[in-house]
Chains A and B, each alone.
Chain A
């Protein structure tokens, strides 16, 4: 459908059944699933000039093993979705920045074609992704100079603008984008001197350590951080130091490394400023919304998926989460979603060894429902049992051979078990997911 056809009058106001904020992997998957389920009047609001999000700059392969059973590059993976969207009547608004949002699902956005728009939605899916933690957020002391990039910004410059960030680089943090960029910069002739990780284990996926560092003889320095940035105008070097088990730099272990570029791959932060403007409740640990098993936030009709909800390891999982959010939105729009707020609600809490769980609460609405609870560990474990407990009784167990913070795991819970253990929802207790001691 031509976009222009849906606007009328001088004031640009449009109503949609479903508005998806963000046209990256989560948003595209949600839109296509919603369309397949028969939702009419779907819109994707995307700030960039094409769909795909960060995938567009991820020109390496390794995407799609779960969803497509083949290995794709980021742009290829994105095309699988954006090409399909072209064949639908989903309204895609590009170069569109949502600048304000209200709890009643009214959004205000601007774009070059329509100027200032007021957009009303029956249901909203939040799929804005995340941003990278910056130098300022880490408070790395030293000179305020050029040559310091977050890994993703550097990736954009190299892969999309065709300009290299520098000639000799150090990478702080062993997150996946940093590892990918270590390889990418090496291939472009930049000397990558080393990757420094404050933790005693790498932050990124094992396959990336092997394929991006080991294969290129790039050293990974664990339990080491950067304590000072040097330079006048541009970075000229960094001082590194070993850290103790409380992550405090150890005096006397400082080393000076000469470089003109510093990349930061030190964590991703879900971009939830709009979410908070809408008054949606947040979950401190993930930095995303507080959601139930349908990925619905505490605000009716607002769903969240992908990296805006919690940072994922693989884009495949983002896709699946987007599809799930769309199914929930469909139920909400059809009003087939039962009045959940009146149903008994069980809190899900991370127990021993776990950093977070998702969803953070479960509504007891359907006895046959199977609920997958995702979690991340705080530390590394080998051959452990992860169990789900309610009222001190184990209702699910899962053997995990390798449990590490950088790889998300999940366990399936049967709603029927929750009913039984809570006397049909009368005697409510928290559901605890924990590593068996």
Chain B
């Protein structure tokens, strides 16, 4: 299949770029090795909208962080994604810390960050009563917040697909060859979940003999390998692992702001934050990962995360932890984001090394990459009625008022079937997640879109029901339903017959 643009990688960056370019009359494919979007760095992210005082002045990180932070609330509004600009504190506990706060403040001013102030102990403790009372000062950033990284990612891809973007999942790029100015992309099929599904199955012709005029490399931790295929070895990606502990919603109600520790030579410290869905989360540490796909958690690292978090926050109750997870960050050897056309390969755009604050920067990166693509290829915008930049979602059942619930139930029978009781998710929402443009095909896919299984019992009660619903609608047999990729079948064989 011939495409104008192939985007490799469906993390938040690749998906937002796909959305940004989907308003033009061009044929776009997003190639993703996993069964779903948001399965690597984006899926295991802190979900913080950083205000931008951190990055060094003049870097791409600084520029796109500040721009992205300013764009995030409106983008989330357009995509019906929750984003709460709740502000952040960097907490200082001694004079040395306070000096760092001043440096961060000065750097923030240079980067164009607004809404910052150095605040005293009373202000902090009044806003956050569970902060360690030994706190002396803090850098308060009003323009910081929280967002669900995977929800943003999913909505961006939904939007792109609505505008005609082809999403080739379970498809891994294995080679890139350039002939007569055209890229030929060799791929392997990594699983059969999406081709088994009777809803929008992937057609084999869509991923046979793939060619593209432009490639945008958004392959995260594997971006250096993809770049290598195109003949550009100018950078390396160093995988770093960050581990997190997530707590029950009961714990999220006691915290209102993102709490950072003062960065030291040893590292950035551990953050304590509410999530947009009301949980409490602590993490991440940063350890060198031997393997780019090793997302295992480790007891020493989790202990470190917990112990370090208790230095700034006294409200942690380990009995209320509901899950632990790890993510791999793509740290570039160049120390700054790499967002440019390769000097070694024309029409090959690297969007690589997007580590923190990559999520915050992603909306600005998408617009910047749109500019690069326009400079390389003439693109005509579609007529206004031929595309949309908004995604509408029904309000989740759990967030409705009693009156709204009553109304929803009276008009729709599927609303009346509550599948996940920890998070009050109705069958209607699960079915909607399966039929959405970038539809859920797996248990984790349903979980990220609807929160079914995300609560305190972690799917103990609802997973059999979620699997049944997935099977009923996609036609995939129950014992072939996977947690994540095709190699992660939930169950074994039928015991009878």
**Chain A interface (Cβ < 8 Å from any Cβ of B):** 11, 47, 95, 97, 99-100, 108, 110-116, 118, 131-132, 134-137, 139, 141-147, 150, 152-153, 156-158, 161-167, 188, 227-230, 232-234, 260-261, 273, 276
Contacts and interface: CB of A to CB of B under 8 A. Distances in A.
Contact of A141 (B324, B463, B495): B324
Contact of B496 (A134, A144, A162): A162
B416 interface: yes
B479 interface: yes
A18 to B, nearest CB: 23
Interface of B: 245-246, 250, 293, 295-299, 301-302, 319, 321-326, 402, 405-406, 408-410, 413, 415-418, 421-422, 424, 426, 456-461, 463-464, 478-479, 482-496
A131 B457 CA distance: 7
Contacts of A111: 416
B287 to A, nearest CB: 13
A185 to B, nearest CB: 10
Between B459, B460, B479, the greatest number of chain A beta carbons within 10 A of the residue's beta carbon is seen for B460
A195 to B, nearest CB: 20
A152 B458 CA distance: 13
A136 B297 contact: no
The 7 closest A-B pairs by CB, nearest first: A233-B487, A136-B323, A115-B409, A233-B488, A146-B483, A97-B418, A134-B458
A139 to B, nearest CB: 5
B249 to A, nearest CB: 9
A48 to B, nearest CB: 10
A111 B421 CA distance: 13
Contacts, number: 152
Nearest to B319: A137
Between A95, A132, A142, the greatest number of chain B beta carbons within 10 A of the residue's beta carbon is seen for A142
A145 B482 CA distance: 10
A143 B296 contact: yes
A163 B491 contact: yes
Given A162-B496, A165-B491, A134 B457 contact: yes
6 contacts: A97-B424, A110-B415, A132-B460, A139-B302, A143-B295, A162-B496
Determine the main DSSP class of A at the interface with B.
mixed
Given A144-B295, A228-B296, A233-B487, A163 B492 contact: yes
Given A115-B409, A158-B495, A234 B487 contact: yes
A229 B295 CA distance: 12
Contact of B492 (A153, A166, A227): A166
A136 B492 contact: no
Given A116-B406, A234-B489, A163 B299 contact: no
A146 B482 contact: yes
A147 B489 CA distance: 8
A339 B424 CA distance: 37
Nearest to A232: B487
Contact of A134 (B302, B460, B478): B460
Nearest to A159: B495
Contact of B298 (A11, A95, A141, A150): A141
Contact of A234 (B415, B459, B488): B488
Given A141-B296, A143-B295, A164 B416 contact: no
B425 to A, nearest CB: 11
B488 A146 contact: yes
A136 B421 contact: no
A188 B408 CA distance: 44
A6 B25 CA distance: 60
A157 B299 contact: no
Given A132-B460, A153-B463, A112 B416 contact: yes
A260 B488 CA distance: 11
Nearest to A131: B457
B297 A141 contact: yes
B495 A163 contact: yes
Between A165, A227, A273, the greatest number of chain B beta carbons within 10 A of the residue's beta carbon is seen for A273
B270 to A, nearest CB: 15
A293 B89 CA distance: 49
Given A115-B416, A158-B495, 12 more contacts: A113-B416, A116-B405, A137-B321, A139-B299, A144-B297, A150-B460, A167-B492, A230-B296, A233-B482, A233-B486, A233-B488, A273-B456
A66 B348 CA distance: 76
B406 to A, nearest CB: 4
B418 A110 contact: yes
Contacts of A144: 295-297, 325-326
Given A141-B297, A150-B460, A47 B421 contact: yes
A244 to B, nearest CB: 15
Contacts of B298: 141, 228
B231 to A, nearest CB: 30
B482 A164 contact: no
Contacts of B416: 110-116
A85 B410 CA distance: 29
A97 B322 contact: no
Given A112-B416, A233-B484, A136 B478 contact: no
B460 A152 contact: yes
B495 A95 contact: no
